[in-house]
Structure 1
Amino acid sequence: MKLVGPWLSGYTRRVGITLRLLTLPFEHLPYHAYREPERVRVFSPMARVPALQLDDGQVLVDSHAIVDYLDSIVPADQRLMPASGPERVRAMQLVGYACACYDKLARYCDELMLRPEAHRLAHLQAGYREQMESGLRVLEAAHADPWLIGSRISQADIMAVVAFQSASVVIPRTVNSESFPRLAALAQQAMQFTAFSSTLPDLEDLQASGLIGADNGI
């Protein structure tokens, strides 16, 4: 399999973490959708990442579809989403909040960095931040014992950590270990797994993107 997209993309990172936790072999092609759209389009006509090319040549886009497929090809006891019942509902709730947080962060960054300063809409920026921080507070309130769905790591943990770590890079004065101690502890626990530590975006890539402290701590 070939995974297309940089670790800078939280959803690409989600898929990479999943592949590594499930010990599924893959080749990582860190093509950036903005900087290298033509290379991405070879796999994804919309130049959208992540894209996962399967061994038979078919390509899946959208991290939700990709991780669902990956769960379907491993033994049941290795899957990263509960199969049914209250645990599955709870996992879906938390994944939904974490993805929503990441989506709002991405919109916030686009508004802050892609739109010319004279045309930025302050109320949109404030709204995205408020929604994102509200979602993070929901995740913060979830009890991890030791993981969000109990004894085994799940997609809820993966996406919660991705969202928290991404936000802590962009707005570190607001999203940090003091404001969200449980999420920080969850991230620290997850980072003991190579699947998480090996997929952190490179500092050079973060600096080039302008994401580090993008809001100047406001």
Structure 2
Amino acid sequence: MQLIGPWLSGYTRRVGVTLHLLNIPFEHVPYHAYQQRDRVRAFSPMMRVPALQLDDGQLLIDSGAIVDYLDSFVPSAQRLMPDGGAARVHAMQLVGYATACYDKLARYCDELMLRPEAYRLPHLQAGYEEQMLIGFDVLNAARAEPWFLGSSISQADVMTVVAFQSAAVAMPRTVNSDAFPRLAALAQRAMQMPAFSLTLPDVRDLQASGLVSEDHRA
């Protein structure tokens, strides 16, 4: 398998973390959809990342579909989403909030970095930030002991950590351990696992994206 997309993309990182957690071998192809469009297009006609090229050449896009497919590779007890019942509903609720938080962060950053300053819409940025912080409040109130579903890590933890760490880099004044202590503790716990530490975006990628300054220290 080949995973196309940079770790700077939270959705690509979500898939990478999942592949590592499920011990599924893959090759990471860190092409950037904005900066290397032709290279991405060779794998993903719509130039979307993440894209997962399977061993038989078939292509999957959309991180939600990809991680659902990857669960089929392992026994039920090892999957990152419960098969059914109340646990699955709870996990889906949390994944929904975490995904929405990341989506609002992405929209906020696009407004800030891609739209010329004279044409930016402050009310949109404020709205995106407000919605994101509400979502993080919900996730912070959900106890993770040690994980959201108990003793086993799930997609709820994966997407929450990805979203929280991305937001903490882009908006450290409002998204930090003081504002969301339980999410910070969850992220710290996750970073003890190679699946998360090996997929953390390189500081040079963050600098190139404009998310952090040249003197940023991780």
TM-score normalized by the length of structure 1: 0.97
- Please give the residue correspondences for 1:82-161 in structure 2 after superposition, counting only pairs within 5 Å: 82-161=82-161
Task: Tell me the residue number matched to 2:189.
Answer: 189
SS in 2 for 1:208: helix
1:1-218 pair list within 5 angstroms: 1-212=1-212
CA distance in 2, matches of 1:41, 1:75: 34
Note the aligned Cα RMSD (angstroms).
0.7
Distance 1:32 1:75 in 2: 33
SS, match of residue 200 in structure 1: coil
- AA aligned opposite 1:170: A
Where 1:60 maps in the other structure, the secondary structure is strand
Deviation at 1:129, TM superposition (A): 0.2
For these two proteins, the number of residue pairs brought into alignment is 213
Aligned-pair identity (%)? 75
Distance in 1 (alpha carbons) for counterparts of 2:201 and 2:75: 30
- Whole-Å separation in 2 of the counterparts to 1:212 and 1:171: 10
- Report the 3-state secondary structure (helix = DSSP H, G, I; strand = E; otherwise coil) of the residue aligned with 1:47: coil
Cα distance in structure 1, aligned partners of 2:139 and 2:26 = 30
**Any idea what SS the aligned residue of 1:6 has?**
coil
Secondary structure, aligned partner of 2:95:
helix
Deviation at 1:123, TM superposition (A): 0.3
For residue 216 of structure 2, what is the aligned residue in structure 1? none
Cα deviation for residue 75 of structure 1 reads 1.3
Unpaired runs of 5+ in structure 1?
A: 214-218
One-letter identity of the residue aligned with 1:180: F
Using the alignment, how far apart are the partners of 1:19 and 1:140 within structure 2? Answer: 26
What SS is found at the alignment partner of 2:80? coil
Shift of 1:78: 1.0
Structure 1 segments, 4+ long, off by >2 Å, are: none
CA distance in 1, matches of 2:108, 2:186: 24
1:38-57 CA-partner distances (Å, limit 9, x unpaired): 11111111100000001111
Which sections of structure 2, spanning at least 5 residues, go unmatched?
214-218
Residues 64-89 of structure 1: CA deviation (Å, up to 9, x unaligned): 00000000111111100000000000
